[in-house]
Amino acid sequence: MPAAVEARWRLWAGAVALAMTAAIGWPLVPDEDSFPLSNYPMFSTPKTTQAKIFHVVGFTPDGRGMPLSPSMVDTDEIMQAYQTVKLAIRGGRAQALCEASARRVAGSEDFADVTRLEVRIDVFDAVRYWEGDRSTERTRIVAKCEVRR
C-alpha cells in the first residue's frame, strides 16, 4: 500500500475513533442525560430546600391557622387540591375559590371553629419544616373571605 494512502487511511480511522469516543463520552457533560450513559440528573443536580405551597388556610377567632383538608377545596386528593388552588390563583379565580371553600367549611363539623379563610402561597424551608420548624419564609395572601354560618 502506498504511503500516501496509508497515511490517509490512518487519519480517517483516527477521526472515526475520536468521533466514537466523543459520542460515548457526551452524556458525561453536565446537564446532559442520554443513552448509553446517564448521570442521573434528577438525583445529581443540587436542589433548593424551598417548598412553595399553594393552599387554603382556615383561621379561628383567636388567630390559630390550619390548612384545610382537600375536601374543602372540592377534591379527595392532596395533589389535586394543591393544583386546584394553584390554577385558581394563576387564573385570577382565588376569591371565587375562597368563597366556595367557605361554604363547604360552614357545613363541616371538622372546621366548626374556623371563621375566616385565606388562599395563600407559603414558602417553607423543607428541611427545617421536617425538623419541626413550621414557620414560613414568605407568605403571599391572594384572597380572604369570611365563613358565614
Residue range 10-39, pLDDT digits in tens = 888 888 888 888 887 766 666 556 666 666
Edge-to-edge strand ranges of the sheet holding 50-59: 65-67, 50-59, 116-125, 138-146
Q: Which amino acid is at 81?
A: A
Please tell me the distance from the alpha carbon of residue 135 to that of residue 31, in angstroms, as a whole number: 33
Dihedral sign of CA atoms 100, 143, 87, 54 in order: negative
Write out the DSSP string of 38-103: ---HHHHS----EEEEEEEEEE-TT--EEEPPGGGGT-S-HHHHHHHHHHHHHTT-HHHHHHHHHH
User: Are residues 9 and 82 both part of a single domain?
Assistant: no
User: Are residues 77 and 61 both part of a single domain?
Assistant: yes
User: Are residues 114 and 70 both part of a single domain?
Assistant: yes
Task: Say which DSSP state 29 is in.
Answer: S
What is the predicted pLDDT for the residue at 1? 67
- For 11, the domain range is 3-44
Residue range 36-92, pLDDT digits in tens = 666 677 777 788 999 999 999 999 999 999 999 999 999 999 999 999 999 999 999
pTM of the model: 0.70
What is the predicted pLDDT for the residue at 21? 87
Q: How many domains does the chain have?
A: 2
User: Are residues 18 and 70 both part of a single domain?
Assistant: no
What is the predicted pLDDT for the residue at 13? 84
User: Are residues 73 and 135 both part of a single domain?
Assistant: yes
Task: Say which DSSP state 28 is in.
Answer: G
User: Are residues 14 and 55 both part of a single domain?
Assistant: no
Asked whether the beta carbons of 43 and 98 are under 8 A apart, the reply is no
Per the omega criterion (within 30 degrees of 0), is the bond before 36 cis?
Answer: yes
Query: pLDDT category, 7, cuts 50, 70, 90?
Result: confident
User: Are residues 31 and 58 both part of a single domain?
Assistant: no
